[in-house]
Amino acid sequence: MRVASILSFTFQEAVEDVEYQDKLKNHKQAMPQLTDRTKLPNIVDPVIRDTMDPKHLYQVAAVAVLCVQLEPSYRPLITDVLA
């Protein structure tokens, strides 16, 4: 019984590690798109791309960067985001 619980715990850790690695990979791909002003328009929906003031687009991206920090304590509260 003890061996089974140790194996399942180890498996769970491995699953969580793979999930974390996937999140980290996505994060590493998204951050340059959000932080580089020359790349930012490329990720905006083409339907609204030409209707947005670039200043507002940069502000939205700056908030998005804060919201997707890997460390949860670095993320703003939703009440601060919506204020």
Structure tokens at 20: 């974390």
Chain centre distance of CA 6: 32
pTM of the complete model: 0.64
Query: Given a cut of 80, is residue 53 above it in pLDDT?
Result: yes
How does residue 14 score in pLDDT terms, banded at 50, 70 and 90?
A: low
